[in-house]
Structure 1
């Protein structure tokens, strides 16, 4: 890539960029798969021919399917989903004909390890939860519940397995759910942060979470149990992770060529939800 005048991004080492006046060409790499994009058609064609000379590879045309993520275009914008991935998951675990569920988890359900409760198949539990984690790229609606069931990977019980299967049944009902990326006329960065306090009954730890929005489109989301026990709700309301994410996105956008005139904003998560 350096031979063809590209430089490696400092924000993401799998991303290579080349600027030519007001035009930019991007190549992002994952093992032996790559995406080439940008607004410089001549440079894209030059890079493609150069790669064909250096390596045995083929062009699949416009992006339609990448790392089990389906990409579709319309006048509204770009849709991404993992419908085929969900169907394959249903078939693999023998739930293709299961009864769909309206919600991924019972409201206010608390999962924790109970003394004397019957254990579940640990290997099967871990495999299914791992597959659900990969779905979070396009299914933010299950991010919270997957985060809950993933905290009990070391010693799953029947109640935990039932919770996982409930998520699977919900996925069958919502196969058509997609994430839409559309042009909203701006590239404003917003980060929403939130945390509960001592929710986990097993270790009394809090869960921090954030999601980031760029130009009105969801970009990243995270939910993670804090490493220490917080003594107050104020200690649980840490915003460091959200701030770090905002700065990383800002740096990446600057490298691509989209500078931010204003600092990223941090709206109140609960106030936004209530409105």
Structure 2
């Protein structure tokens, strides 16, 4: 629960306590793999430990980091390469999708690899590992939500024309900022 009206929060807490067993855990620090840190600059969220656990689980703790989550103009397509363990691939893509909640820098790469969950191949798994190498380069990256003195809403969009090698479909991207803070992508 969060808010700026202390009296209303106290009243709601008492009301909830009548119906449910609740406990005040203090200020949020960690929830579902998301770390929350407060400072004078604002609220910072990241998934550092989640990334380190994922690197350990995949045996990539000692891998060489890369500076980008995907090579420029890298195209993936279906049916190319040797089949890989579908269940493992789907689990790794799912973990990457969860990571994109605090890492918008991997959102595009993750959206590409998620298109091949029905029939993953070697190049698709290699792309997953490339994203992990990129995450290793800065596991503590995240999002900072700061007070910028306004609540302006800004939106940006981009698209590639017929970028999919399989279906010749276009891919579009967008991001929305509220008060100068990234909130959707």
| Fold-level similarity (TM above 0.5) | yes
Partner in structure 2 of residue 103 of structure 1: 68
1:249 match = none
Aligned to 1:152: 116
Structure 2: gaps of 5 or more residues: none
Shift of residue 164, structure 1, vs aligned partner? 0.5
1:51 and 2:13 are equivalent in the alignment = no
The structure number with the bigger radius of gyration is 1
Residue 164 of structure 2 is matched in structure 1 by: 200
Match of 1:214 among 160, 166, 178: 178
1:41-86 alpha-carbon deviations (Å, 9 max, x no partner): 0111121122222211211111111222111011111100011111
Matched residue, 2:94: 130
Normalising by structure 2, we get a TM-score of 0.95
98-107 or 200-209, which deviates more: 98-107
Aligned length, in residue pairs:
185
Q: CA deviation at 1:162?
A: 0.6
Query: CA-to-partner distance for each residue in 1:73-122, whole Å, 9 max, x for gaps?
Result: 1111110001111112112222222222222111211111245x211111
In 1, Cα distance between the equivalents of 2:168 and 2:142?
35
SS at match of 1:144: helix
How far does the alpha carbon of each residue in 1:191-247 deviate from its partner, in whole angstroms, 9 at most, with x for none?
1122111000101111122111000000001xxxxxxxxxxxxxxxxxxxxxxxxxx
Number of the residue aligned with 1:22: none
User: Which 5+ residue runs of structure 1 have no aligned equivalent?
Assistant: 1-35, 222-275
What is the CA–CA distance in structure 2 between the aligned matches of 1:98 and 1:57, rounded to whole Å? 43
Aligned 8 A contact 2:46 2:143 in 1: yes
| 1:71 maps to 2:36 | yes
Contact in 1 for aligned 2:79/2:119 (Cα 8 Å): no
Q: Which residue of 2 aligns with 1:81?
A: 46
> What is the correspondence of 1:2-41 to structure 2 with a 5 Å cutoff?
36-41=1-6
Across the aligned residues of Structure 1 and Structure 2, the Cα RMSD in angstroms comes to 1.2
